[in-house]
């Protein structure tokens, strides 16, 4: 009798490390569903940043945005690397993922009160935000304890992760319930972020030192997951473009500003996507797993800068809103600065992956100067649409240079890194 296929694969099972073999492991439908909650979180953080800039409260807006994005991105990073190594897709894993999704929504609800408290110089109103974050992180503790129980070999690593996350959550709860002013809260937050960020270093280092290796994350899966979150963040540039175009058309009709904002906003979204995916990270991560930490952590600046660009495009709309006094210089600064951070972040990540300065450094420096040139033009009174096109020229120029042949420089450096890693592995064997 022929064996029948089993279509139900979600029964509770032992959680053990997954295989890192194979060229590609695609993102699951559950991971894609999980990412959707971050659309909301990015959107709320970006809207608050745009409004804060529009009312002239730059410092408070940027501080709140960085704080919120830190919580959002770090929770996503932890889940993603864990899922790459241990995803069983059983019902308990799914339920705990749902709990984390709920935490993201609660965190997003807590972002506006947190921004408002910073703006007014009051004790930081981070109770709701911290509650959402703690929900996400405690669900992560439960996942790590499952891994510790199911995989004795990797138990020391899993328990170390669970310990660091638990201690950090106690600290976050204290920052929410103690009557601390903004300064003391931010100081405590800085110490807690050091604790959060050091947890994976300590845990993975313990495994390597003990000879059991690191958690079995899949390099191609991780690279794809990061690319998908970059696309999620790029959604904010589309929303920012829409908000700006609506404000301009409602105030002044379909002027050249409205047309250029729509065209430049979508073109900028497309250019950022194109530029991000020019760098193939997966082959290097597969050959050099020790490159993972700075690569993974460095993406915080990539994701945050993309979301901030969306907020900057939203600020453009405030220029045409008679209820706000937003200058062209302010609007262009709100876009140009995150575009510059995006370029610089990708440059440093590329340099880290290829173990040296990219050979196209001069062209990359030229592209980084363009956002600054746009700000200078705005300062001397150039029209907003002209300055916006100069900002757009920054990523477009680099893309054109790559496609006309500069890609060969990157190809040579990547081939060298992968070949050198292969030779080292062969010598070790």
Q: What is the pLDDT of residues 112-136, one digit of tens each?
A: 998 888 777 677 788 899 999 999 9
Q: Give the tokens for residue 322.
A: 């008679």
C-alpha 406/C-alpha 228 separation (Å) is: 25
User: What average pLDDT does range 87-91 have in this prediction?
Assistant: 90
- Answer yes or no: is 35 within a domain: yes
Residue where a domain terminates, one of 164, 191, 209 = 209
Confidence of residue 36 (pLDDT cuts 50, 70, 90): very high
pLDDT score, position 1: 42
Confidence of residue 429 (pLDDT cuts 50, 70, 90): low
Whether 276 and 148 map to the same domain: the answer is: no
Q: Is-contact 299 227, C-beta < 8 A?
A: no
Q: Give the tokens for residue 31.
A: 């991971």
User: What average pLDDT does range 5-25 have in this prediction?
Assistant: 75
C-alpha 370/C-alpha 391 separation (Å) is: 6
User: What average pLDDT does range 51-56 have in this prediction?
Assistant: 93
pTM, 2 dp? 0.93
C-alpha 116/C-alpha 26 separation (Å) is: 40
Q: Give the tokens for residue 213.
A: 């290796």
pLDDT at 52 over 80: yes
pLDDT score, position 119: 75
Reduce the DSSP state of residue 109 to 3 states and report it.
helix
Reduce the DSSP state of residue 127 to 3 states and report it.
helix
Whether 100 and 233 map to the same domain: the answer is: no
Whether 120 and 200 map to the same domain: the answer is: yes
- Answer yes or no: is 56 within a domain: yes
Q: Give the tokens for residue 150.
A: 């199911």
pLDDT at 100 over 70: yes
Q: Give the tokens for residue 21.
A: 């073999």
C-alpha 111/C-alpha 105 separation (Å) is: 10
Tell me how crowded residue 99 is: count the other CB atoms within 10 A of its CB: 15
Whether 154 and 257 map to the same domain: the answer is: no
C-alpha 118/C-alpha 182 separation (Å) is: 7
Tell me how crowded residue 121 is: count the other CB atoms within 10 A of its CB: 10
C-alpha 193/C-alpha 332 separation (Å) is: 31
How many structural domains are present in the chain?
2
- Answer yes or no: is 21 within a domain: no
Q: What percent of the chain has pLDDT over 90?
A: 67
Q: Quick one: CA dihedral 382, 265, 300, 350, positive or negative?
A: negative
- Answer yes or no: is 398 within a domain: yes
User: What average pLDDT does range 374-380 have in this prediction?
Assistant: 97
Whether 149 and 227 map to the same domain: the answer is: no
C-alpha 267/C-alpha 396 separation (Å) is: 9
Whether 315 and 365 map to the same domain: the answer is: yes
Whether 95 and 201 map to the same domain: the answer is: yes
Q: Map tokens 């262009």 to a residue.
A: 332
Whether 111 and 228 map to the same domain: the answer is: no
Alpha helices, DSSP H, located in 121-181? 127-150, 155-177
Domain range for 232:
219-428
Q: How far is CA 86 from the centre of its chain?
A: 22
- Answer yes or no: is 3 within a domain: no
DSSP state letter for 18: P
C-alpha 331/C-alpha 309 separation (Å) is: 11
Whether 225 and 172 map to the same domain: the answer is: no
Residue where a domain terminates, one of 209, 236, 263 = 209
Give the chain's mean pLDDT.
90
DSSP state letter for 11: S
Q: What percent of the chain has pLDDT over 70?
A: 96
- Answer yes or no: is 214 within a domain: no
Whether 199 and 223 map to the same domain: the answer is: no
- Residues near 113 by Cβ (< 8 Å), separated by ≥ 6? 125, 128, 129
User: Which range, 51-65, 137-151, 250-264, 357-371, is most confident?
Assistant: 137-151
Between the alpha carbon of residue 108 and those of residues 70, 112, 129, 134, the distances in Å are 12, 8, 7, 13
pLDDT score, position 211: 85
C-alpha 395/C-alpha 287 separation (Å) is: 29
Residues 393, 343, 58, CA angle at the centre, nearest 5°? 95
Whether 180 and 236 map to the same domain: the answer is: no
Phi-psi region of 64 (alpha: psi -120 to 50; beta: other; left: phi over 0): alpha
- Answer yes or no: is 86 within a domain: yes
């Amino acid at each position: 009798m022929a064996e029948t296929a089993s279509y139900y694969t979600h029964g509770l099972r032992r959680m053990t490390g997954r295989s890192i073999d194979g060229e590609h492991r695609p993102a699951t439908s559950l991971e894609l569903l999980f990412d959707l909650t971050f659309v909301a979180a990015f959107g709320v953080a970006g809207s608050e940043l745009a409004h804060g800039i529009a009312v002239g409260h730059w410092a408070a807006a940027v501080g709140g945005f960085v704080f919120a994005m830190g919580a959002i991105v770090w929770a996503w990073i932890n889940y993603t690397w864990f899922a790459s190594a241990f995803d069983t897709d059983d019902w308990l894993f799914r339920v705990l993922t749902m709990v984390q999704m709920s935490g993201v929504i609660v965190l997003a609800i807590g972002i506006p009160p947190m921004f408002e408290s910073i703006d007014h110089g009051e004790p930081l109103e981070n109770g709701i935000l911290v509650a959402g974050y703690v929900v996400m992180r405690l669900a992560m503790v439960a996942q790590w304890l499952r891994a510790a129980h199911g995989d004795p070999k990797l138990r020391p690593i899993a328990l170390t992760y669970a310990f660091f996350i638990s201690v950090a959550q106690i600290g976050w709860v204290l920052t929410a319930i103690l009557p601390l002013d903004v300064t003391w809260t931010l100081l405590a937050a800085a110490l807690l972020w050091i604790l959060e960020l050091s947890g994976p270093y300590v845990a993975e280092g313990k495994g390597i030192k003990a000879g059991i290796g690191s958690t079995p994350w899949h390099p191609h899966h991780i690279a794809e997951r990061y690319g998908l979150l970059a696309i999620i963040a790029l959604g904010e540039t589309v929303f920012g473009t829409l908000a700006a175009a609506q404000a301009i058309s409602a105030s002044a009709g379909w002027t050249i500003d409205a047309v250029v904002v729509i065209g430049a906003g979508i073109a900028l979204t497309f250019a950022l996507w194109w530029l991000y995916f020019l760098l193939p990270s997966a082959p290097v991560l597969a050959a050099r797993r020790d490159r993972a930490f700075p690569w993974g952590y460095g993406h915080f600046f990539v994701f945050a800068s993309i979301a901030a660009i969306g907020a900057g495009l939203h600020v453009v709309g405030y220029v045409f809103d008679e209820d706000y006094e937003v200058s062209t210089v302010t609007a262009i600064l709100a876009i140009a600065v995150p575009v510059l951070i995006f370029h610089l972040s990708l440059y440093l990540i590329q340099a880290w992956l290829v173990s040296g300065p990219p050979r196209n450094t001069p062209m990359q420096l030229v592209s980084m100067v363009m956002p600054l040139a746009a700000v200078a033009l705005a300062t001397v009174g150039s029209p907003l649409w002209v300055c916006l096109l100069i900002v757009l020229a920054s990523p477009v120029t680099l893309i054109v240079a790559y496609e006309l042949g500069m890609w060969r420089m990157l190809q040579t450096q990547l081939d060298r890194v992968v070949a050198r890693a292969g030779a080292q592995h062969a010598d070790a064997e």
